[in-house]
Amino acid sequence: MQYYSDPLSVSSEMKTFLVGGAVRDTLLGYPFHEKDWVVVGATPAEMIEAGYTQVGRDFPVFLHPDSKEEYALARTERKSGPGYHGFVVHADRAVTLEEDLERRDLTINAMAMDASGDIIDPYHGQRDLADRVLRHVSPHFVEDPLRVLRVARFAARYHHLGFTIAPETAALLSQIVAADELPHLSIERVWVEMEKALGTTHPEVFFHTLADCQALAMLLPELSVSQGITSLARAAPHTPRLDCRWASLLADLPEARVKAINEHLKVPNAFSLLSSRVSVARPTLKTALRDAIDCMALIKLLDALRRDEPFEGVCETLIALEQNSDAARATIDLLRNACDQARTVTAADFTDSGLAGPDLGAAIQAARVEKIKAVLP
């Protein structure tokens, strides 16, 4: 497989390197979808003259005119204020590749590949890959609070490969939290990292890592006293849907708290709606299936008569929370069957009845309850 592309020529001094995740995952034999490039020995003016399009505001990043991949000039960063935006960026042709790699978070992300396919590894990322260790590059690691979330996400992503966080790096995560840097992260950025973590093989590791460094108590204090992380660990292997995984994480919380969390984190509507419905359905499901009127009320609450979602998402989440057990699938099959029966009754069935308004609604409701009675045990 070709990992390297030929950049446009800028100057004889220019050298281009593949960096970061693409190099890391190439060495791991792990799939990746994006390539990041660092350019050494060029200026913004030279990049633009060669046909690249500048897109970065905070630092010089350019799009290749053909591949549209990102090429960033080698740069250094100096802490100038709180948060992950609080940096002064310096980029010019004198900045070396090693200086650029030093500002990165983990050693496994601080490797580069040259045009010949040779690996440049000044901070021993290959050693840490072999040892399955997530280790920070330099003491400057503590300057960026986003790294708490990123390291937690990498721990989740590579947990199945045996990766652990180096003790000294774990200590720095706690140091960042204790320095009260996390509140400087935007809510949108926090959610981006959480959503990415939900798509990993072991999303529960992300939240356990945050709990270990006391970040969870700041970002999602409700999870510190719930069984949510355990529920997520049970459910994740049984559903690939990120909204179902999110719903499983919050399933043990009251609906009001679920809504508050979703509003605070500004989660997508599909995630918010599904998690709220699961928090209502889970504690009432078995009771509802014992009585046709209660079952009809639950079906209406889940809006299952009008559309398949979020009803099917609720069903998938509830089955996943019980680890796809036969009993769980039988329970959900019963709920689906009751819903299918209720859907067979429509206003058209009462065209000749002369009923209208509330009376028509009551008649439809009663007929649906009778249909449900026929399928409940």
Residue at 334 is within a domain: no
Least confident of 53-62, 172-181, 274-283, 353-362: 53-62
Look at the chain and report how many structural domains it folds into.
Answer: 1
Cα 60 to Cα 39, 49, 94, 144, 376: the distances in Å are: 10, 14, 14, 20, 65
Q: Cis peptide before 310, with omega less than 30 degrees from 0?
A: yes
Q: Residue 194 in contact with residue 245, Cβ under 8 Å?
A: no
Residue at 331 is within a domain: no
Query: What whole-number distance in Å separates Cα of residue 201 and Cα of residue 11?
Result: 44
Residue at 30 is within a domain: yes
- Using 50, 70 and 90 to split pLDDT, how confident is the model at 275? very high
pLDDT of res. 272: 97
Query: How do residues 184-201 score in pLDDT, each as one tens digit?
Result: 999 999 999 999 999 999
Question: Is 50 exceeded by the pLDDT of residue 2?
Answer: no
Average pLDDT rounded to a whole number, residues 267-295 = 96
- Using 50, 70 and 90 to split pLDDT, how confident is the model at 1? very low
Residue at 323 is within a domain: no
pTM of the entire predicted model:
0.89
> What angle separates helix 187-198 from helix 255-265, to the nearest 10 degrees?
110
Average pLDDT rounded to a whole number, residues 215-235 = 91
Question: Is 70 exceeded by the pLDDT of residue 4?
Answer: no
Residue at 62 is within a domain: yes
pLDDT of res. 159: 98
Query: What whole-number distance in Å separates Cα of residue 40 and Cα of residue 97?
Result: 7
Q: Please spell the DSSP secondary structure of 86-114, one letter per residue.
A: -EEEE-STT--HHHHHHTSSBGGGS-EE-
Residue at 34 is within a domain: yes
pLDDT of res. 49: 87
- 9 or 59: which carries more pLDDT confidence? 59
Average pLDDT rounded to a whole number, residues 174-178 = 97
- Using 50, 70 and 90 to split pLDDT, how confident is the model at 205? very high
Parallel, antiparallel or unpaired: strands 87-90 and 76-79: antiparallel
- 306 or 234: which carries more pLDDT confidence? 234
Query: What whole-number distance in Å separates Cα of residue 177 and Cα of residue 277?
Result: 33
- Read off the CATH number of the domain in which 14 is found: 3.30.460.10
Q: Residue 279 in contact with residue 250, Cβ under 8 Å?
A: yes
Query: How do residues 81-113 score in pLDDT, each as one tens digit?
Result: 665 555 577 778 889 999 999 999 999 999 999
Parallel, antiparallel or unpaired: strands 15-19 and 36-40: antiparallel
Query: How do residues 122-133 score in pLDDT, each as one tens digit?
Result: 999 999 999 999
Phi, psi for 76 (deg, rounded to 5)? -120, 160
**Residue 326 parent element (H or E):** helix 326-343
- 9 or 113: which carries more pLDDT confidence? 113
Q: Residue 277 in contact with residue 242, Cβ under 8 Å?
A: no
Average pLDDT rounded to a whole number, residues 274-283 = 96
pLDDT of res. 82: 64
Residue at 117 is within a domain: yes
Q: Quick one: tokens of 191?
A: 């959610």
Query: What whole-number distance in Å separates Cα of residue 104 and Cα of residue 91?
Result: 15
Read off the DSSP letter of residue 117: S
- 56 or 368: which carries more pLDDT confidence? 368
Q: Residue 86 in contact with residue 94, Cβ under 8 Å?
A: no
Question: Is 80 exceeded by the pLDDT of residue 5?
Answer: no
Residue at 148 is within a domain: no
Q: Residue 65 in contact with residue 52, Cβ under 8 Å?
A: yes
Query: What whole-number distance in Å separates Cα of residue 251 and Cα of residue 239?
Result: 15
Question: Is 50 exceeded by the pLDDT of residue 60?
Answer: yes
Domain extent at residue 17: 1-127
